[in-house]
Amino acid sequence: MARDTNIVPAADDLAGWKAVERILGKRISDRIDASGLVTEALFRQYFGSKRAEYLAKEYECMSVIHAFMEWLAYDYRPVLRSDKKRRKDKTRRPKGVRRGKTLAEKMLAAGLPAAESRLLEACMQANPSLFRIISVESGSYEVVEDILLGGEYVIHDKMLSECVQAGQFLTGRVFPAGQFHFFSPTGPPLSHLLVTEAADYLESVGMEFSREGLRRGADKFGLLWKWYDKRSRESHVPILRNTDGEDLIWQTASFSVSDEKTVREALAQREDIEYDQEEDEYKWLRHQTGRSMIAGDMLYLGRMHFVLNELIIEVNSAERLQTARRWLEKIPGVKYLNVKSRDFNQGEFDMPLDDRMGPKKTVEITPELASCLQEFFNRHYMGWLDSPLPMLDGKTPRQMCLSEAGRQKVATLIRTIPTPVGNPGVKIDIPRQQMLRELGLESE
């Protein structure tokens, strides 16, 4: 039995609002088909590329056509016919091009059944943005956070919940339907490695990160497909860098040792070396400049083991190995032998390349240890607010907040920090809200 969309569903009637969404979606699709709007020129305008046909086919599985139809319905404003004539008249140069109403505005003005009208208005008022998936209830809903404007939403989308995971990012609109929220894509899904770059790209093409600015510049989200395709072709996996901005390439180096006792004594005298007696392992650490000695201030740089007559050191960049080599070779009897490198993108990069070291031991995560880990991450990230960062041109997040543009960048950066993963039985949270409050960004 067809639903009468003149009757507005109750606020808690999820099935009713889903039915209205389907009916409205079909009405918009039929209206676009009948209008003859879809042209090659419009495809190129949406993607900002002459390769529009390729992009539409390449990313079909990412709902690219749906995103294009959304743009066509809610964001595309045609140049008025009178202005087209004026532009052809070389003797008269218009001061500005006037644009007409969107398809959605025309449909609303012409009149729609009450339920469809209410849902269409909600879609028109919603701004596109980038959303971090906080959690997923497969087959039911997703909890997301708007990383550009802030705010959390529960999206009731069964199909979406079965193909996304916590920690991923969505590009689209979140709009209310009764007491629920629905989602509509306006760009490609993103990994946490790409989302900050995507936000920077939107800003570079003139996007203003405010509710009105995102609505006004919604057409720019179509450009993300071309940008995403370029990034995908440049590298299957985005370039990973450590906290010093160095390319992440795992280095396992061997040094010959003539007198192990002498080397151990030399390591024990260094303030940046910590000995783990249980593992018989040395950790190379660095004190963060300008940070308190008690608040997560030590940065882990690498680890060292003795294997027979050799010292094996593992670090995550060529630059760190060069630094370590300079002071290691000053220790009497230590001589550099060789190094093996492995790109972090190759998988299983955390396994030692020298199999003489044997398998690593697993650690049982007790509730007490989990609590300590959470406390460590809280201290680390609150201290991170005063750490100079390469991605902020050497400034600290707190220093960046002295400008309006810097405040927006830091707020976005905090909301995109990936949640630590590891033991599936342990949940570690990033203290995002506490960090935002500390910098006065909670409402940004």
Please give the pLDDT value at position 154.
96
| Greatest Cα-to-Cα distance within the chain, rounded to the nearest angstrom | 90
374 to 83, 296, 381, 417, 419: CA distances (angstroms): 61, 12, 11, 15, 11
The answer, yes or no, to whether residue 333 has pLDDT greater than 60, is yes
CATH code for the part of the protein at 249-357: 3.30.70
31 to 27, 183, 219: CA distances (angstroms): 6, 21, 20
Confidence of residue 443 (pLDDT cuts 50, 70, 90): low
Which of the two residues, 342 and 413, has the higher pLDDT score? 413
Please give the pLDDT value at position 426.
63
| Percent share of the chain, pLDDT over 70 | 83
**Highest mean pLDDT: which of 153-157, 240-244, 361-365, 433-437?**
153-157
Confidence of residue 359 (pLDDT cuts 50, 70, 90): very low
Confidence of residue 378 (pLDDT cuts 50, 70, 90): confident
Coil, strand or helix: which one is 71? helix
pTM over cut 0.85: no
Residues 6+ apart with CB under 8 A from 431: 377, 378, 381, 382
Q: Distance between CA 407 and CA 398 in Å, rounded?
A: 9
What amino acid is encoded at 311 in this protein? L
Question: According to CATH, where is 3.30.70 located in the chain?
Answer: 249-357
pLDDT digits (tens, 9 = 90+) for 139-179: 899 999 999 999 999 999 988 888 788 888 999 999 999 99
Strands 273-276 and 169-177, by their bridges, are unpaired
For the chain, how big is the Rg over CA atoms in Å? 28
Burial class of residue 225 (count of CB atoms within 10 Å of its CB; 0-12, 13-18, 19+): buried
The DSSP output letter for 221 is G
- Residues 160/183, Cβ–Cβ less than 8 Å: yes
Q: Distance between CA 91 and CA 99 in Å, rounded?
A: 21
The answer, yes or no, to whether residue 411 has pLDDT greater than 70, is yes
Coil, strand or helix: which one is 53? helix
94 to 74, 84, 101, 275: CA distances (angstroms): 26, 10, 20, 75
pLDDT digits (tens, 9 = 90+) for 322-331: 999 999 999 9
Backbone conformation region of residue 110, classed left if phi is above 0, alpha if psi is from -120 to 50, else beta: alpha
The answer, yes or no, to whether residue 244 has pLDDT greater than 60, is yes
Confidence of residue 373 (pLDDT cuts 50, 70, 90): confident
Q: Which helix (H) or strand (E) holds 209?
A: none
Mean pLDDT of the chain: 83
40-61 mean pLDDT: 89
**Residue 236 structure tokens:** 């299957």
